[in-house]
Amino acid sequence: MRHLMSPLDFTTEELDRLFDLANDIEQNPGKYAHACDGKILATCFYEPSTRTRLSFESAMTRLGGTVIGFSDAASSSASKGESVSDTIRIISCYSDICAMRHPKEGAPMVAAEKSGIPVINAGDGGHQHPTQTLTDLLTIRSMKGKLDHFTIGLCGDLKFGRTVHSLINALVRYQNIRFIFISPEELKVPDYITDMLKEKNIPYEEVIRLEDIMPHLDILYMTRVQKERFFNEEDYVRLKDFYILDTVKMALAKKDMLVLHPLPRVNEISVEVDEDPRAAYFKQAKYGVYVRMALILTLLELH
Protein backbone atom coordinates (compact mmCIF):
# COMPACT_ATOMS: atom_id res chain seq x y z
CA MET A 1 0.00 0.00 0.00
CA ARG A 2 1.30 3.42 -0.95
CA HIS A 3 0.65 6.89 0.40
CA LEU A 4 1.47 10.30 -0.99
CA MET A 5 3.21 12.56 1.52
CA SER A 6 5.61 14.45 -0.70
CA PRO A 7 6.08 14.79 -4.46
CA LEU A 8 9.30 12.85 -3.99
CA ASP A 9 7.38 9.70 -3.07
CA PHE A 10 7.10 9.03 -6.80
CA THR A 11 10.10 8.61 -9.09
CA THR A 12 10.19 10.79 -12.20
CA GLU A 13 9.29 7.69 -14.24
CA GLU A 14 6.27 7.06 -12.02
CA LEU A 15 5.29 10.71 -12.38
CA ASP A 16 5.53 10.39 -16.17
CA ARG A 17 3.12 7.44 -16.03
CA LEU A 18 0.79 9.38 -13.73
CA PHE A 19 0.80 12.38 -16.07
CA ASP A 20 0.25 10.16 -19.13
CA LEU A 21 -2.76 8.70 -17.34
CA ALA A 22 -4.03 12.20 -16.42
CA ASN A 23 -3.73 13.29 -20.05
CA ASP A 24 -5.57 10.15 -21.18
CA ILE A 25 -8.35 10.91 -18.67
CA GLU A 26 -8.52 14.44 -20.09
CA GLN A 27 -8.84 13.08 -23.64
CA ASN A 28 -11.15 10.13 -22.85
CA PRO A 29 -13.16 10.88 -19.71
CA GLY A 30 -15.85 8.30 -20.56
CA LYS A 31 -13.31 5.49 -20.34
CA TYR A 32 -12.82 6.21 -16.61
CA ALA A 33 -16.37 7.17 -15.59
CA HIS A 34 -16.91 3.91 -13.65
CA ALA A 35 -13.32 3.09 -12.72
CA CYS A 36 -14.01 3.68 -9.00
CA ASP A 37 -17.55 2.27 -8.77
CA GLY A 38 -18.15 1.17 -5.16
CA LYS A 39 -15.08 2.96 -3.79
CA ILE A 40 -15.22 5.65 -1.11
CA LEU A 41 -12.90 8.63 -0.70
CA ALA A 42 -12.74 10.24 2.76
CA THR A 43 -11.84 13.92 2.69
CA CYS A 44 -10.55 14.77 6.18
CA PHE A 45 -10.01 18.51 6.16
CA TYR A 46 -8.99 19.93 9.54
CA GLU A 47 -8.81 23.41 8.07
CA PRO A 48 -11.04 24.98 5.44
CA SER A 49 -10.03 24.60 1.81
CA THR A 50 -12.88 24.70 -0.62
CA ARG A 51 -10.72 24.39 -3.71
CA THR A 52 -8.58 21.38 -2.87
CA ARG A 53 -11.46 19.55 -1.21
CA LEU A 54 -13.83 20.12 -4.13
CA SER A 55 -11.11 19.12 -6.57
CA PHE A 56 -10.73 15.78 -4.75
CA GLU A 57 -14.49 15.34 -4.57
CA SER A 58 -14.90 16.16 -8.24
CA ALA A 59 -12.10 13.71 -9.11
CA MET A 60 -13.67 10.82 -7.16
CA THR A 61 -17.16 11.59 -8.45
CA ARG A 62 -15.93 11.66 -12.05
CA LEU A 63 -14.42 8.23 -11.47
CA GLY A 64 -17.79 6.84 -10.32
CA GLY A 65 -16.86 6.68 -6.61
CA THR A 66 -18.44 8.41 -3.64
CA VAL A 67 -17.13 10.82 -1.03
CA ILE A 68 -17.53 11.17 2.73
CA GLY A 69 -15.69 13.50 5.10
CA PHE A 70 -15.55 16.73 7.02
CA SER A 71 -14.47 20.18 5.96
CA ASP A 72 -13.14 21.72 9.16
CA ALA A 73 -11.85 20.55 12.51
CA ALA A 74 -14.89 21.90 14.38
CA SER A 75 -17.16 19.37 12.67
CA SER A 76 -14.78 16.45 13.27
CA SER A 77 -13.99 14.44 16.39
CA ALA A 78 -10.78 16.49 16.68
CA SER A 79 -12.97 19.08 18.43
CA LYS A 80 -13.55 16.43 21.12
CA GLY A 81 -9.80 15.94 21.45
CA GLU A 82 -9.36 12.83 19.29
CA SER A 83 -5.85 12.31 17.95
CA VAL A 84 -5.04 12.05 14.25
CA SER A 85 -3.83 8.48 14.88
CA ASP A 86 -7.21 7.44 16.27
CA THR A 87 -9.23 9.30 13.64
CA ILE A 88 -7.45 7.59 10.74
CA ARG A 89 -7.97 4.15 12.29
CA ILE A 90 -11.71 4.85 12.25
CA ILE A 91 -11.70 6.44 8.79
CA SER A 92 -9.90 3.32 7.50
CA CYS A 93 -12.99 1.30 8.46
CA TYR A 94 -15.31 3.58 6.52
CA SER A 95 -13.47 4.27 3.28
CA ASP A 96 -10.96 3.03 0.72
CA ILE A 97 -8.69 6.08 0.43
CA CYS A 98 -8.23 9.30 2.40
CA ALA A 99 -7.21 12.83 1.48
CA MET A 100 -6.11 14.74 4.59
CA ARG A 101 -5.46 18.43 5.10
CA HIS A 102 -4.24 19.56 8.50
CA PRO A 103 -2.84 22.83 9.86
CA LYS A 104 -0.10 20.94 11.72
CA GLU A 105 2.97 19.92 9.75
CA GLY A 106 3.46 16.16 9.52
CA ALA A 107 -0.12 15.25 10.50
CA PRO A 108 -0.79 13.22 7.31
CA MET A 109 2.46 11.32 7.94
CA VAL A 110 1.22 10.38 11.39
CA ALA A 111 -2.02 9.24 9.77
CA ALA A 112 -0.18 7.19 7.13
CA GLU A 113 1.78 5.38 9.86
CA LYS A 114 -1.45 4.15 11.47
CA SER A 115 -3.69 3.85 8.42
CA GLY A 116 -5.11 0.77 6.77
CA ILE A 117 -5.85 2.69 3.55
CA PRO A 118 -3.79 4.96 1.27
CA VAL A 119 -3.45 8.49 2.67
CA ILE A 120 -2.91 11.51 0.46
CA ASN A 121 -1.39 14.61 2.02
CA ALA A 122 -3.74 17.37 0.87
CA GLY A 123 -1.62 20.04 2.60
CA ASP A 124 0.01 20.10 6.04
CA GLY A 125 0.61 23.54 7.54
CA GLY A 126 3.36 25.41 5.77
CA HIS A 127 5.14 22.17 4.91
CA GLN A 128 4.04 20.16 1.85
CA HIS A 129 1.18 20.20 -0.63
CA PRO A 130 2.05 17.38 -3.03
CA THR A 131 -1.18 17.23 -5.04
CA GLN A 132 -0.85 20.91 -5.83
CA THR A 133 2.67 20.11 -7.02
CA LEU A 134 1.41 17.28 -9.20
CA THR A 135 -1.11 19.77 -10.61
CA ASP A 136 1.64 22.31 -11.27
CA LEU A 137 3.88 19.73 -12.93
CA LEU A 138 1.06 18.38 -15.10
CA THR A 139 0.15 21.94 -16.16
CA ILE A 140 3.76 22.75 -17.10
CA ARG A 141 4.25 19.42 -18.87
CA SER A 142 0.96 19.71 -20.79
CA MET A 143 1.45 23.37 -21.79
CA LYS A 144 5.22 23.49 -22.28
CA GLY A 145 5.65 19.88 -23.42
CA LYS A 146 8.53 19.30 -20.98
CA LEU A 147 9.62 19.50 -17.37
CA ASP A 148 13.25 20.45 -17.88
CA HIS A 149 15.46 23.27 -19.19
CA PHE A 150 13.68 26.36 -17.93
CA THR A 151 13.94 29.28 -15.52
CA ILE A 152 11.15 29.50 -13.01
CA GLY A 153 10.44 32.50 -10.80
CA LEU A 154 8.58 31.88 -7.55
CA CYS A 155 7.07 35.02 -6.12
CA GLY A 156 5.39 36.05 -2.87
CA ASP A 157 5.25 34.07 0.34
CA LEU A 158 8.14 31.66 -0.04
CA LYS A 159 8.50 31.09 3.69
CA PHE A 160 5.11 29.65 4.59
CA GLY A 161 3.98 28.80 1.03
CA ARG A 162 3.87 25.02 1.07
CA THR A 163 3.04 24.86 -2.65
CA VAL A 164 6.36 26.54 -3.30
CA HIS A 165 8.36 24.12 -1.12
CA SER A 166 6.76 21.09 -2.72
CA LEU A 167 7.25 22.41 -6.25
CA ILE A 168 10.94 23.15 -5.68
CA ASN A 169 11.49 19.67 -4.24
CA ALA A 170 9.87 18.14 -7.30
CA LEU A 171 11.60 20.27 -9.93
CA VAL A 172 15.14 19.70 -8.66
CA ARG A 173 14.95 16.20 -10.12
CA TYR A 174 14.73 17.52 -13.68
CA GLN A 175 17.62 18.71 -15.81
CA ASN A 176 18.75 22.31 -16.07
CA ILE A 177 16.20 24.10 -13.91
CA ARG A 178 17.11 27.54 -12.60
CA PHE A 179 15.18 29.08 -9.72
CA ILE A 180 14.63 32.75 -9.01
CA PHE A 181 13.06 33.43 -5.62
CA ILE A 182 11.24 36.76 -5.45
CA SER A 183 10.13 37.70 -1.96
CA PRO A 184 10.40 40.32 0.76
CA GLU A 185 13.12 39.65 3.30
CA GLU A 186 10.58 38.37 5.88
CA LEU A 187 9.13 35.75 3.55
CA LYS A 188 12.30 34.25 2.09
CA VAL A 189 12.49 30.58 1.21
CA PRO A 190 13.52 28.47 4.27
CA ASP A 191 17.12 27.48 4.73
CA TYR A 192 16.48 23.76 4.32
CA ILE A 193 15.46 24.45 0.73
CA THR A 194 18.46 26.65 -0.09
CA ASP A 195 20.79 24.18 1.70
CA MET A 196 19.42 21.43 -0.51
CA LEU A 197 19.87 23.50 -3.70
CA LYS A 198 23.47 24.33 -2.76
CA GLU A 199 24.18 20.70 -2.05
CA LYS A 200 22.82 19.65 -5.46
CA ASN A 201 24.57 22.54 -7.25
CA ILE A 202 21.29 23.85 -8.61
CA PRO A 203 21.45 27.53 -9.55
CA TYR A 204 19.19 29.94 -7.69
CA GLU A 205 18.92 33.63 -7.01
CA GLU A 206 17.06 35.52 -4.32
CA VAL A 207 15.71 38.93 -5.34
CA ILE A 208 13.18 41.43 -4.05
CA ARG A 209 12.02 43.24 -7.21
CA LEU A 210 9.78 41.31 -9.61
CA GLU A 211 10.14 43.79 -12.50
CA ASP A 212 13.88 43.23 -12.87
CA ILE A 213 13.71 39.52 -13.54
CA MET A 214 10.50 39.31 -15.62
CA PRO A 215 12.32 39.13 -19.01
CA HIS A 216 14.34 36.10 -17.86
CA LEU A 217 11.47 33.85 -16.80
CA ASP A 218 9.92 30.93 -18.66
CA ILE A 219 7.44 30.36 -15.84
CA LEU A 220 6.25 32.74 -13.13
CA TYR A 221 4.66 31.06 -10.14
CA MET A 222 2.74 33.61 -8.08
CA THR A 223 1.56 32.92 -4.53
CA ARG A 224 -0.77 34.56 -2.08
CA VAL A 225 0.47 35.84 1.27
CA GLN A 226 -1.66 33.64 3.53
CA LYS A 227 -3.21 35.35 6.53
CA GLU A 228 -3.64 32.06 8.42
CA ARG A 229 0.15 31.49 8.49
CA PHE A 230 0.85 34.66 10.48
CA PHE A 231 0.79 34.90 14.25
CA ASN A 232 0.90 38.68 13.98
CA GLU A 233 -1.79 40.61 12.08
CA GLU A 234 0.49 43.63 11.68
CA ASP A 235 3.06 41.64 9.68
CA TYR A 236 0.35 40.25 7.45
CA VAL A 237 -1.09 43.69 6.63
CA ARG A 238 2.38 45.03 5.84
CA LEU A 239 3.28 42.19 3.48
CA LYS A 240 0.05 41.12 1.81
CA ASP A 241 0.21 43.49 -1.16
CA PHE A 242 3.98 43.48 -1.61
CA TYR A 243 3.65 42.09 -5.16
CA ILE A 244 0.96 42.78 -7.71
CA LEU A 245 1.32 41.30 -11.19
CA ASP A 246 -0.31 43.61 -13.73
CA THR A 247 -0.23 44.20 -17.49
CA VAL A 248 2.70 46.58 -17.17
CA LYS A 249 4.86 43.87 -15.65
CA MET A 250 3.50 41.27 -18.08
CA ALA A 251 4.70 43.47 -20.97
CA LEU A 252 8.26 42.83 -19.76
CA ALA A 253 7.88 39.05 -19.94
CA LYS A 254 8.63 36.57 -22.71
CA LYS A 255 5.86 35.91 -25.24
CA ASP A 256 5.51 32.30 -24.12
CA MET A 257 6.00 32.70 -20.39
CA LEU A 258 3.40 30.87 -18.28
CA VAL A 259 1.83 32.46 -15.20
CA LEU A 260 0.80 29.88 -12.62
CA HIS A 261 -0.90 30.36 -9.26
CA PRO A 262 -2.18 27.72 -6.84
CA LEU A 263 -5.29 29.90 -6.22
CA PRO A 264 -7.18 31.45 -4.59
CA ARG A 265 -5.61 34.77 -5.53
CA VAL A 266 -6.39 37.97 -3.74
CA ASN A 267 -4.59 41.07 -5.04
CA GLU A 268 -1.31 39.56 -6.23
CA ILE A 269 -2.54 39.09 -9.82
CA SER A 270 -4.57 41.93 -11.22
CA VAL A 271 -7.79 40.68 -12.92
CA GLU A 272 -6.71 42.40 -16.16
CA VAL A 273 -4.00 39.72 -16.51
CA ASP A 274 -6.69 36.99 -16.74
CA GLU A 275 -7.24 37.79 -20.43
CA ASP A 276 -3.57 37.36 -21.27
CA PRO A 277 -3.04 34.01 -23.05
CA ARG A 278 -0.01 33.42 -20.81
CA ALA A 279 -2.26 33.32 -17.72
CA ALA A 280 -2.57 29.58 -17.07
CA TYR A 281 -3.97 29.52 -13.52
CA PHE A 282 -7.55 28.65 -14.38
CA LYS A 283 -6.43 25.83 -16.69
CA GLN A 284 -4.25 24.70 -13.80
CA ALA A 285 -7.38 24.12 -11.67
CA LYS A 286 -8.72 21.80 -14.39
CA TYR A 287 -5.48 19.86 -14.52
CA GLY A 288 -5.79 19.53 -10.74
CA VAL A 289 -8.87 17.36 -11.14
CA TYR A 290 -7.27 15.16 -13.83
CA VAL A 291 -4.13 14.58 -11.82
CA ARG A 292 -6.12 13.73 -8.66
CA MET A 293 -8.18 11.26 -10.70
CA ALA A 294 -4.96 9.66 -11.92
CA LEU A 295 -3.58 9.61 -8.38
CA ILE A 296 -6.66 7.96 -6.88
CA LEU A 297 -6.57 5.28 -9.59
CA THR A 298 -2.86 4.72 -9.02
CA LEU A 299 -3.01 4.49 -5.22
CA LEU A 300 -6.06 2.21 -5.35
CA GLU A 301 -4.15 0.10 -7.89
CA LEU A 302 -7.06 0.30 -10.30
CA HIS A 303 -4.92 1.21 -13.27
Partner 1 sequence: MLNVGKIEEGFVLDHIAAGKSLSIYEHLQLDKLDCTVAIIKNARSNKKGKKDILKVECDINTLDLDVLAYIDHNITVNVIKNGEIVEKKELMLPRQIKNVIRCHNPRCITSIEQELPHIFYLADAEKEVYRCKYCEEKYTEGSK
Tell me whether residue 102 is one of the annotated catalytic residues: no
CA distance 58 to 231: 33
- The span of 11-19, 81-89, 147-155, 294-302 binding partner 1 (CB under 8 A) equals 81-89
Rounded CA-CA distance 78/250 in Å is 45
Q: How many residues bind partner 1 (CB under 8 A)?
A: 19
Q: Enter the DSSP assignment of 188.
A: P
Q: Is 52 a catalytic residue?
A: yes
Choice from 35, 67, 91, 109 touching partner 1 (CB under 8 A): 109
Quick note: the x/- pattern for partner 1 over 165-204, rule CB under 8 A, is --------------------------xx--x---x-----
Q: Which is nearer to partner 1, 96 or 124 (CB)?
A: 124
Burial of 163 (0-12, 13-18, 19+ CB in 10 A): buried
Which DSSP string do the residues of 141-167 spell out, in sequence order?
HHHHS-SSSEEEEEES-TTT-HHHHHH
Inter-residue long-range contacts of 232-240, CB under 8 Å, 24+ positions, other chains counted: 235/186, 239/157, 239/184, 239/186, 239/187, 240/266, 240/267
Closest CA to 213 of 244, 176, 253: 253
Residue among 103 and 184 whose Cβ is closer to partner 1 = 103
155: phi then psi, degrees, rounded to nearest 5:
-130, 135
* Per-residue contact string for residues 124-153; x = within reach of partner 1 by CB under 8 A: xxxx--------------------------
Using CA atoms, how far apart are residues 49 and 47, in angstroms rounded to an integer? 6
For this structure, is 261 an active site residue? no
Which of 63, 110, 189, 258 contacts partner 1 by CB under 8 A?
Answer: 110
Nearest-approach distance from CB 191 to partner 1, in angstroms:
7
Per annotation, catalytic residue among 80, 200, 209, 255: 80
d(CA 116, CA 7): 21
Residue 64 beta carbon to partner 1: minimum distance, rounded to whole angstroms = 33
Does 226 contact partner 1 by CB under 8 A? no
Rule CB under 8 A: which residues touch partner 1? Answer: 83-85, 102-107, 109-110, 124-127, 191-192, 195, 199
Active-site amino acid positions: 51-52, 80, 101, 129
